[in-house]
Structure 1
Amino acid sequence: MPTNTASVPAPNRLRIGSAPDSWGVWFPDDERQVPWERFLDEVAEAGYDWIELGPYGYLPTDAARLAEETGRRGLKVSAGTVFTALHRGPGVWDETWAHVSRVAELTRAMGAGHLVVIPAFWRDDRTGEPIEPPHLAPERFRDLTAGTERLARRVREEYGLDVVVHPHADTHIATEEHVTRFLDATDSSLVNLCLDTGHYAYCGGDSVRLIETYGERIGYLHLKQVDPAVLADVVRDGTPFGPAVRQGVMCEPPRGEPALEPVLAAAGKLDVDLFAIVEQDMYPCPPDRPLPIARRTRHYLRHCGA
């Protein structure tokens, strides 16, 4: 493990946390997921101070109750998360806002400052079957960028939260080409990026190069790695993301790619406060698997200076 941490951001600039995703949680309610009480107990036990809300409805949605449950475990909330299909145009706005406003209200009530926005999958998230073309036509791309700016403006005005868009496998913002096109087409005063190192590597991107090129647009980090051998099989076979996760494509650091030390060093050079939330997609997983991984990952990140 690395011992030279001089180029890695100081702890007061990088706030390390974890998320329900690292406990195999993808849905508000699923019998294959650990109960939310166990997640909160174990994420605190593993040494994390910050968490994300995860899928809305997994954790209690009553702010007073959630504040009591997190507070007595020494946990704080960094962000809420929403999925949106803004590329489908103004016709989806009302439905989108109804969901976003609920999540944003709880996020603000918990003292968090970010809303992570994930584009809708072009494949069904349970079956993996294609439901849309994988590439956006120009008019749909314009709907995506305009809708995201509209959403970010309203979220900031009404809830005081910053929108960070999360490039994600099997969505229309996934590859390096997608990401740079999206950033170039959106207002940096409204829309920034949640860089997920694992998803970006999954789709062929270089996280360090993205940070060095678009550093002013990096508003939030998800720390994650992919297993290159499994990824090679996934790419060869065209495997959808859900089955790829079940094959183990996302792996425990430092066993995969990208190497996190250079990512942390590049983030440190930005000289800004950043949340860095550990995620390891592994839905579904045995209930006793997440905690040991979470402990080891937190220990590893401390050795990286984070």
Structure 2
Amino acid sequence: MAKNVVLGTAPDSWGIWFAEDPHQTPASRFLDEVVQAGYEWIEIGAYGYLPTDPIQLADELGARRLKVSGGTTFARLQHPDTIEAAWAHVAPIAALTAAMGAEHLVVIPDLWRDDLTGNEKESRRLTTEQWTALTEGHNELGRRMLEEYGVHSQFHSHADSHVGYQPDIERFLEDTDPAYVNLCLDTGHVAYYGGDSVELITKYPERIGYLHLKQVDPELAARAVAEDISFSQTVRMDIMVEPPAGVPDLAEVLQAAEQLPQQLFAIVEQDMYPCSPDRPLPIARRTYTYLSSCM
């Protein structure tokens, strides 16, 4: 494998979206199956799904020889005066991430649609004031994470959020401070709206701080946009497909990433919520084998 790209996986690839949900695979089974699939690195995922006590989590991971690449969180910053509420939510996750020896926290913008029901929560377009609040809020959140916990903010564009299309992503990068905010390049969410992950790597090489690897069904993605289908509904329609069946070409993405000087975690994150507990492991094994062959 390339020395500067490290492969891992995430709870999403086991259908884990929430800290507690009866439809989800139990945490102990998830951790066991990560090892069985061949991975050594994981993300923490939804805060509270895995143990939040650092000693307990370290014991669970150590027993399986697993390591943490980073944490994950949502942040609602698209409105003025929301930084303190966002920080209160994010700080414990940053603390746990740091306690596990990880240096990255993937920050997903709050969605304008509910991620479970698909119902619209607010306008899908931001005013100028709201866009400024979003970018300045992420700068401040990233500054606090770095200065207080030594954790780098990796912004994650997302379907049904205000930063989804490639022009939105590029505008966000232009309007944020690279000292405090960089990009978790999620290949699936970029492709969902017809974006080009390799172009983003080439255009903003110094801003690529982390990778999420997934593929989408391009025909279903086009239909989702044309018919305004919610992201949560498209996941139930299996828009995220097992590599190499979808787009983008992950071999091309990894090849481009390997040219960058910085070390990158490349975390497999195939959304499959909800899914049968017996479904993820065979997919994870095949995906690990395929991606390893691309590196």
Hey, what does 2:240 align to over in structure 1? 250
**Count of matched residue pairs:** 295
CA distance in 1, matches of 2:77, 2:293: 40
Task: Tell me the distance in 2 between the aligned counterparts of 1:144 and 1:128.
Answer: 22
Name the CA distance, whole Å, in 1 between partners of 2:155 and 2:209.
Answer: 9
List runs of 5+ in structure 2 lacking aligned partners. Answer: none
* Separation in structure 2 between the aligned mates of residue 87 and residue 51 of structure 1, nearest angstrom: 29
> Of 13, 16, 31, which aligns to 2:4?
13
Aligned to 1:3: none
CA distance in 2 between partners of 1:152 and 1:59 (Å): 24
Q: Which amino acid in the other structure matches residue 130 of structure 1?
A: E
Q: Which amino acid is 1:234 matched to? A: A
Partner deviation per Cα, 1:62-93 (whole Å, 9 max, x = no partner): 11010010111110001111101111121x22
1:286-305 paired onto structure 2 within 5 Å: 286-305=276-295
SS of 1:118's equivalent in the other structure is strand
Letter in 1 for 2:160: D
**Match of residue 175, structure 1, among 165, 182, 186:** 165
Counterpart of 1:213 (choices 203, 215, 228) is: 203
Out of 127-136 and 26-35, give the one that drifted further. 127-136
Identity between Structure 1 and Structure 2 (%): 56
Corresponding residue to 1:241 among 228, 231, 242:
231
User: Structure 1: how far apart are the matches of 2:129 and 2:99?
Assistant: 36
Deviation of residue 94 (structure 1)? 2.4
The residue that corresponds to 2:89 in the other structure is: 99
User: SS state of the match for residue 192, structure 1?
Assistant: strand
3-state SS of paired residue (2:64): coil
Distance 2:287 2:115 in 1: 27
Report SS of the residue matched to 2:256.
helix
TM-score (norm 2): 0.98
SS at match of 1:28: coil
- Alignment partners' CA distance in 1, 2:198 and 2:131: 26
Q: How much has 1:189 moved relative to structure 2? A: 1.5
- Measure, in 1, the Cα distance between the counterparts of 2:223 and 2:275: 21
Q: Is 1:86 the counterpart of 2:86 in the alignment? A: no
Residue equivalent to 1:279: 269
Question: Contact (CA 8 Å) 2:193, 2:225: kept in 1 or not?
Answer: no
Name the residue aligned to 2:14.
23
Shift of 1:11: 2.9
Q: Distance in 2 between matches of 1:198 and 1:59?
A: 25
For 1:56, which of 30, 37, 47 is the aligned residue? 47
| Structure 1 residues not aligned, in runs of 5+ | 1-9
Specify the code of the residue in structure 2 equivalent to 1:32. Answer: H
SS of equivalent residue, structure 2 residue 31:
helix
Contact 2:8–2:267, Cα closer than 8 Å, also in 1 = yes
Displacement of 1:292 in angstroms is 0.1
Give the 3-state SS of the residue equivalent to 2:174 in structure 1.
helix
CA-CA distance at 1:98 after TM superposition: 1.2
Q: Where has structure 1 moved over 3 Å in runs of 4 or more?
A: none
Q: d(CA) in 2 for partners of 1:229 and 1:207? A: 18
Paired residues for 1:25-44 under 5 Å: 25-44=16-35
* 1:46 maps to 2:34: no
Aligned match of 1:4:
none
What is the CA–CA distance in structure 2 between the aligned matches of 1:108 and 1:122, rounded to whole Å?
Answer: 30
Task: Compute the RMSD of aligned alpha carbons.
Answer: 0.9
SS in 2 for 1:41: helix
Are the equivalent residues in 1 in contact too, given 2:154–2:209 (CA < 8 A)?
A: yes
TM-score by length of 1: 0.95
